[in-house]
Amino acid sequence: MGCNVGKTDQLVRYILGIVLVVAYFLHWVTGTWGWVSLILGIIFVVTAAIRFCPLYVIFGINTCNKD
């Protein structure tokens, strides 16, 4: 399981994930959409933290620079 999430992608995922989780807890989104927001937010934060996205493997995407 190698890196396939680059630095810019990682930053965007962290920001979007945090916004979605905060939106859930501040009740900006409620009901089913609230749960969707929470789950997607957690997924974005986790994939940013481990720098690996399983969907990128399926679609053959790699935004990670070869260092």
Sequence ranges of the domains in the chain: 7-59
What CA–CA distances, in Å, run from 60 to 39, 42, 47, 53, 55? Answer: 24, 23, 16, 11, 8
Q: Is the pLDDT of residue 67 over 60?
A: no
Q: What is the pLDDT of residue 66?
A: 72
* Mean pLDDT over each residue of the chain, to the nearest integer: 94
The SS3 assignment for 11 reads: helix
pTM for the model stands at 0.90
Over the stretch 32-56, which tens digit does the pLDDT of each residue have? Answer: 999 999 999 999 999 999 999 999 9
Q: What percent of the chain has pLDDT over 90?
A: 93
Of residues 2 and 31, more confidently modeled: 31
